[in-house]
């Protein structure tokens, strides 16, 4: 268990500088934040600190600048977006390495907020440099990590700084992520069902390996299923198949036995095009020249029944090419089944960037227990890998 922000005596936060790692890696268009979801996700932590009289200094990466500062990747557009979200002014710290930066943080009013320039402008960030970690640490009196989505990276602003600036605690968003993902894995209400999909088996082998001994069933959809179909000797036409993973898929099928549940039928088309006429066929009836782009209604029914009968469900990866209609149907139906399971009392957790986008598109994000904000980080967490940004926080 990691120490949380709530565990710090609120009376002692007054006047202290909270150095908070957030994830403000928002989409920006023409210098304006186009979607402030990530900024709003950090508001509970920021507002709590402000209300307790802390001086709040925010650190975040922004995009992937290569080799130093690049105006294209300045985090400055987030200053305006954060001011709007907070309804309060935000000071921009352009150079956190300058002596003036420390003075700026100390001169913030109680409850004041500052945002530091893109942490990836500094070469030591991605190498978790000790010197840079010290320089970041000088900007605060204690550390809060609320950037779960970056916790799988051992960077100066996520890991290094947490080792030198104490106490180092989780923010409210981070705490939620650790609670829901952690509890689903450690104390699942049964039956425990995992639903896996997406483009490739290769990115999710470790996940299947880690989940197999824990879950009662793994339902497989998406292009991932195609590689299993090939391993079963079925015709897959022009479907996306990972030829070099067919042997592995065969081994998994042998090992998992009835725990692995594959689609009984699929939706196919001669090509991937919006609005194209599609066909529904049994999985052993895919003609050459066609591609599998979704799970069929029979599979939707089968998967939905298993999901709504579960005590815990983890979903990672869409069931089809949900970006292109009509191949969004399977994914939408699974999103609805997740919501239905939640309404019946199941714990439902969604990890993975595209799956999170799919449930949001379906308008059901608030009808499930938890939608993880961390794509790669949630995957690594579910694989039970150590997340350096979490490991570096104080233990309870
Ligand atoms: P997540 O981000 O939720 O972890 P992934 O990144 O693994 O999910 O996979 C998402 C992608 O998988 C989507 O872009 C989707 O179009 C693709 N996909 C799903 N099913 C198929 C399919 N049958 N053929 C090709 N691509 C697919
Ligand atoms: Mg993805």
309 is catalytic: no
Q: Are residues 116 and 15 in the same domain?
A: yes
Is there a single domain that holds both residue 119 and residue 265? no
Give me ligand 2 centre to Cα 174, in Å: 21
Do residues 312 and 220 both lie within one domain? yes
Question: Does residue 293's CB lie within 6 angstroms of at least one atom of ligand 1?
Answer: yes
Quick one: pLDDT band at residue 203, thresholds 50, 70, 90?
confident
Q: What is the pTM of this model?
A: 0.91
Among 223, 271, 323, 330, residue to substitute to test ligand 1 (most atoms within 8 Å of Cβ): 223
Query: Ligand 1: which of 198, 237, 349 to mutate, judged by most atoms within 8 Å of the beta carbon?
Result: 198
Average pLDDT over residues 147-173: 97
Asked if residue 182 is part of any domain, the answer here is no
In terms of domains, do 169 and 201 share one?
Answer: no
156 and 269 fall within a common domain: no
20 and 86 part of one domain? yes
Question: Does residue 393 belong to any structural domain of this protein?
Answer: no
Task: Print the domain residue range for 233.
Answer: 188-382
Residue pointed to by tokens 């939620």: 176
Return the structure tokens found at 146.
């609320």
Q: Which atom of ligand 1 is nearest to the CA of 199?
A: 12
For residue 323, give the ligand 1 atom closest to its CA.
16
Provide the domain count of the chain.
Answer: 2
Residue 86 domain flag: yes
Alpha-carbon distance of 37 to 34, in angstroms, equals: 9
* Token reading at 139: 């900007």
Q: In the prediction, which pLDDT does 95 show?
A: 97
Specify if 181 maps to a domain: no
331-369 per-position pLDDT tens digit: 999 999 999 999 999 999 999 889 999 999 999 999 999
Residue 121's domain is classified under what CATH number?
3.40.50.1260
Q: At what angle do helices 329-343 and 297-308 cross, to 10 degrees?
A: 20
Contacts of 33 (CB under 8 A, 6+ apart): 26, 27, 39, 77, 78, 80, 81
Q: What is the pLDDT of residue 205?
A: 87
Whether residues 78 and 166 fall in one domain: yes
Is 124 tagged catalytic? no
Residue 394 DSSP class: P
Same domain assignment for residues 151 and 78: yes
Residue 372 Cα to ligand 2 middle (Å): 13
Same domain, residue pair 81 and 216:
no
């Amino acid at each position: 268990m990691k120490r949380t922000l709530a565990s710090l005596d609120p009376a002692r936060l007054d006047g202290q500088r909270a150095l908070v790692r957030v994830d403000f890696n928002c989409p920006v268009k023409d210098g304006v934040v186009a979607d402030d979801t990530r900024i709003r996700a950090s508001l509970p932590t920021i507002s709590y600190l402000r209300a307790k009289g802390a001086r709040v200094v925010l650190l975040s990466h922004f995009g992937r600048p290569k080799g130093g500062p690049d105006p294209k990747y300045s985090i400055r557009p987030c200053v305006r977006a954060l001011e709007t979200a907070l309804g309060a002014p935000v000071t921009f710290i352009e150079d956190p390495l300058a002596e003036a930066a420390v003075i700026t943080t100390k001169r913030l009013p109680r409850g004041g907020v500052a945002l530091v320039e893109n942490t990836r402008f500094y070469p030591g960030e991605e190498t978790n440099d000790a010197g840079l970690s010290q320089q970041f640490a000088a900007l605060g009196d204690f550390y809060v990590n609320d950037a779960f989505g970056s916790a799988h990276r051992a960077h100066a602003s996520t890991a290094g700084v947490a080792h030198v600036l104490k106490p180092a605690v989780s923010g409210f968003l981070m705490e939620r992520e650790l609670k829901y993902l952690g509890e689903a894995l450690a104390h699942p209400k049964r039956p425990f069902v995992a639903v896996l999909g997406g483009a490739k088996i290769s990115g999710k082998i470790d996940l299947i390996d880690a989940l197999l001994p824990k879950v009662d069933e793994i339902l497989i959809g998406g292009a991932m299923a195609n590689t299993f179909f090939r391993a079963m000797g079925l015709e897959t036409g022009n479907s996306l198949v990972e030829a070099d993973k067919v042997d592995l898929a065969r081994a998994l099928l042998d090992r998992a036995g009835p725990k692995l549940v594959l689609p009984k039928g699929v939706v196919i088309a001669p090509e991937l095009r919006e609005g194209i006429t599609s066909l529904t066929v049994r999985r052993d009836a895919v003609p050459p020249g066609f591609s599998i782009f979704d799970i069929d209604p029979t599979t939707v029914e089968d998967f939905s029944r298993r999901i709504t009968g579960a005590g815990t469900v983890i979903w990672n990866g869409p069931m089809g090419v949900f970006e292109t209609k009509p191949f969004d149907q399977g994914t939408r139906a699974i999103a609805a089944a997740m919501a239905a399971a939640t309404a019946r009392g199941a714990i439902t957790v969604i990890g993975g960037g595209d799956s999170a986008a799919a449930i949001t598109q379906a308008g059901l994000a608030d009808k499930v227990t938890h939608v993880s904000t961390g794509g790669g980080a949630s995957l690594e967490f579910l694989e039970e890998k150590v997340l350096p940004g979490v490991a570096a926080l104080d233990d309870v």
